[in-house]
């Protein structure tokens, strides 16, 4: 049975270790993000929201354990699973890992089979809960999302984001690009489901309604620019 792709964040200041783990996990179908320092790790944590974090204890003077607190702030329900990686095999390190309620502890050099076996054990819990069949009267929500406009024409635009739309929706777009074109008076309506670009990334097409002749001219200027 094929492995269901998961988003995994690797945090280690050892580039060789990162490349080794990346290759191993990508080869079995997972999407991998990496960080060699905790500042980058914090950014990746809050932008890709991984299913699993493989975290080096010794990163930045053994601050790996303290970074677990940052993960818990983002995910207080402990849905993001954590496997610690370290050259330390002492009882103290193992006990600290257990106290932090991590989901695994691997000693470097990491053995392929042990890593994949550890992941297999926790794989049933590598996911986020879904709610469906909600009552429409109570399911309405207004939210903000971050994305990038990738295409635009006189009748539609495409934007890329981490949100997958499955039904008709009206959008309120707040964009410097839209402001520059002075078409913020238009309506943007999603008419069909988003298209998968990669795991967790989607392209969504929105119909543009309410443009006047001047608006169309400005859009055509963009389309005909060279370079």
Of the candidates 44, 82, 90, 51, the one whose C-alpha atom is nearest the C-alpha of residue 66 is: 82
Are the beta carbons of 76 and 88 closer than 8 angstroms?
no
Which residues, 6 or more positions from 189, have their beta carbon under 8 angstroms from its beta carbon? 168, 169, 170, 171, 206, 207, 209
The dihedral sign for the CA sequence 99, 101, 102, 103: positive
**DSSP one-letter string for 171-222:** E----HHHHHHT-TTSEEEE-S--EEEETTEEEEEEEEE---HHHHHHHHHH
Residues in the chain with pLDDT values less than 50:
1-2, 225-227
Of the candidates 101, 115, 10, the one whose C-alpha atom is nearest the C-alpha of residue 54 is: 10
Centre a 10 Å sphere on the Cβ of residue 157 and count the other Cβ atoms it contains: 23
CATH match for 7-125 among 3.90.226.10, 3.40.50.2300, 2.160.20.10, 3.40.190.80: 3.40.50.2300
Are the beta carbons of 55 and 76 closer than 8 angstroms?
no
Cα 103 versus chain centre, distance: 21
What dihedral angle (degrees, nearest 10) is formed by the CA atoms of 45, 47, 48, 54?
-10
Q: Report pLDDT for 134.
A: 60
Enclosing H/E stretch for 85? strand 81-86
Give domain limits for the chain: 7-125, 138-224
Six-digit token pair at 212? 């006047």
């Amino acid at each position: 049975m094929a492995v269901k792709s998961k988003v995994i964040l690797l945090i280690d200041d050892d580039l060789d270790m990162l490349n080794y783990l990346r290759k191993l996990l990508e080869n079995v179908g997972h999407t991998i993000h990496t960080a060699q320092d905790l500042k980058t790790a914090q950014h990746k944590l809050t932008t890709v929201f991984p299913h699993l974090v493989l975290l080096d204890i010794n990163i930045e003077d053994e601050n790996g354990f303290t970074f677990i607190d940052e993960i818990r702030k983002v995910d207080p329900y402990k849905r993001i699973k954590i496997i610690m990686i370290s050259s330390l095999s002492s009882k103290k390190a193992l006990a600290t890992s257990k106290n932090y309620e991590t989901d695994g502890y691997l000693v470097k050099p990491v053995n392929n089979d042990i890593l994949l076996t550890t992941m297999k054990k926790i794989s049933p819990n590598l996911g986020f809960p879904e709610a469906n069949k909600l009552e429409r009267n109570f399911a309405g929500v207004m939210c903000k999302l971050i994305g990038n406009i990738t295409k635009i024409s006189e009748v539609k635009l495409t934007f890329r984001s981490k949100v997958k739309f499955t039904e008709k929706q009206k959008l309120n777009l707040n964009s410097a690009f839209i402001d520059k074109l002075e078409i913020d008076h238009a309506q943007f309506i999603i008419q069909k489901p988003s298209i998968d670009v990669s795991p967790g990334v989607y392209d969504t097409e929105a119909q543009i309604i309410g443009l006047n002749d001047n608006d169309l001219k400005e859009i055509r200027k963009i389309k005909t620019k060279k370079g």
